[in-house]
Amino acid sequence: MRGFGFSEHGGTDRLAYVDLPEPSPGPGEVRVRLRAAAFNRLDRFTLAGIPGVTVERPHVLGSDGAGVVERLGEGVADLALGDRVLLNPGLWDGTCDACRRGDEAMCRSYRIVGEHTQGTATELLCLPRRNVRPLPEGWTFEQGAAAPLVFQTAWRALRTVAGLVPGDRLAVVGAGGGVAPAAVQVGRLLGATVTVASRNRTKEEAVARLGATSFVTFDDATPLDRVLWQASEKKGFDVIFDSVGAPTLPRSLRAVGRGGRIVVIGATAGPVVELDVRTLFWRQASIRGSTMAGAREFDEVLGHLASGELRPVIDVTFPFEDGPAAFRRLDSAELFGKVVLRGPGPGPEGP
Ligand SMILES: [Zn+2]
């Protein structure tokens, strides 16, 4: 079967269509015929090679996917062939201390589909039954592929880790990519006022449609901390959601209020930062990391998606044959929402 990924790590010139054997579902697994996959910044890092992570090659990219149930492994009786499903890309062992207390995101052997295992940009994928969820009523496969990674990331980061509560002032730093549109919506759902800070003014209308209360732009002359400080009426923010990393984190720290929480879910623009710890202790602020989500958190946010309170945001959909163009879109300054790959095709089971 065909997949889109790479045989050698490197830049986008290494992207290729690869051949893989069809996987067979083991006990407790489900084989899904993919109808849509979506990319994340994570795929760029996987392509380049992540220190400490060894992938099987050729490797198929993509953590997010949706499709139809095509075969059931031994012991799986509560799904039917042809069921429309979306996939939770988080993989946990279910046996360690964290898993036993229901905090699967802290699993000692936590892995992510497409990063540590073969990804979703292919025809068939086998995953544990617990990773397979019904596609919400009326959703397209593209919507199903656009939701799982970014919404569970925003949900855990804001609700569980940052402890966002109604009335909090939330700042979302950066509006590119797929996670900011999720964070804005989750922030509003949890009752916060949401300010989005971006280098790109063209995102203003889109974030306003998602419920952002205010929008500020920053650049080298008017830096992030200054515009955020003013936007918070010089009180600082209760929670700052920062996925940018090196260029923004020191400035996010200067814009946090007393007792404020900065939650870091990625470092798309660089991982190594220098911080003025005097601000940290004087404001009694905290900086916490968060990644992915546990099983219960995933189902909570999926419930809000299925009810329509949250909605996946698709930047653009490409046919399966245009994988390289889809991937390059991740680098676009205009990117807002998810880049989705449709296909590879309907397969023998029909529409
Ligand atoms: Zn575990």
Q: Which residues are CB-contacts of 350 (< 8 A; sequence separation ≥ 6)? A: none
* pLDDT-based confidence at residue 349 (cuts at 50, 70, 90): very low
Distance 295 CA to ligand 1 centre (A): 11
**pLDDT for the residue numbered 345:** 67
* Element housing 286 (H / E): strand 286-289
- Say yes or no to pLDDT of 351 above 60: no
Q: Which residues contact 56 (CB under 8 A, 6 or more apart)?
A: 117, 118
Report the distance separating Cα 11 and Cα 39, nearest Å.
15
Query: How far apart (Å, rounded) are the C-alpha atoms in residues 166 and 160?
Result: 14
Cα of 100 from ligand 1 centre, angstroms: 7
- Same CATH topology for 2-147+313-342 and 152-289: the answer is yes
Rounded to the nearest angstrom, the distance between the alpha carbon of 9 and the centre of ligand 1 is 29
Q: How far is the CA of 94 from the centre of ligand 1 (A)?
A: 5
Domain ranges across the chain? 2-147+313-342, 152-289
Q: Cα(239) to centroid of ligand 1, in Å?
A: 29
> Ligand 1 center to residue 95 CA distance, Å?
5
Element (H, E) at 11: none
Average confidence score pLDDT of the chain: 95
User: Class for domain 152-289, per CATH?
Assistant: alpha beta
- At the second CATH level, the architecture of 2-147+313-342 is Alpha-Beta Complex (3.90)
The bridge status of strand 132-134 relative to strand 111-112 is: unpaired
User: Are the C-beta atoms of residues 273 and 244 closer than 8 Å to each other?
Assistant: no
Cα 117 to averaged position of ligand 1 atoms, centre (Å) = 17
User: Which residues face 33 on adjacent strands?
Assistant: 68, 124
How far is ligand 1, taken at its centre, from the CA of residue 272, in Å? Answer: 29
Query: How many angstroms separate the alpha carbon of residue 171 from the centre of ligand 1?
Result: 32
Distance from Cα 103 to the centre of ligand 1, integer Å: 8
101 C-alpha to ligand 1 centroid (Å): 9
- In this prediction, residue 251 carries a pLDDT of 96
SS (H, E, C) 57-123: CCEECCCEEEEEEEEECCCCCCCCCCCEEEECCEECCCCCHHHHCCCHHHCCCCEEECCCECCCCEC
Res. 348: pLDDT tops 90? no
**Cβ 285 vs Cβ 259: under 8 Å:** yes
Dist. CA 5–CA 24, nearest whole Å: 20
CA–centroid distance, 104 to ligand 1, in Å, is 6
350, pLDDT greater than 50: no
**pLDDT per position as a tens digit, 207-237:** 999 999 999 999 999 999 999 999 999 999 9
Cα-atom radius of gyration of the chain, to the nearest Å? Answer: 20
Å from CA of 336 to ligand 1 middle: 33
pLDDT tens digits along 44-102? 999 999 999 999 999 999 999 999 999 999 999 999 999 999 999 999 999 999 999 99
Q: What mean pLDDT comes out for the span 32-43?
A: 96
User: What is the whole-number distance in angstroms between the Cα of residue 240 and the centre of ligand 1?
Assistant: 29
Ligand 1 centroid to 105 CA: how many Å?
8
260 CA → ligand 1 middle, Å: 30
CA distance 278 to 264: 19
Is residue 260 pLDDT above 60, yes or no? yes
Q: Give residue 314 CA to ligand 1 midpoint distance, Å.
A: 32
Quote the ligand 1 centre to 99 CA distance (angstroms): 4
Burial of 121 (0-12, 13-18, 19+ CB in 10 A): buried
CA 97 to centroid of ligand 1, rounded, Å: 6
Quote the ligand 1 centre to 319 CA distance (angstroms): 36
Q: How far is the CA of 294 from the centre of ligand 1 (A)?
A: 10
- Predicted confidence (pLDDT) at residue 347 exceeds the cutoff of 70: no
CA of 172 to the centre of ligand 1 (A): 30
SS3 of residue 29 by DSSP: strand
* Rounded Cα gap, residues 69 and 186, in angstroms: 29
Cβ atoms of residues 225 and 251 within 8 Å: yes
pTM > 0.85: yes or no? yes
What average pLDDT does the segment 114-134 reach?
98
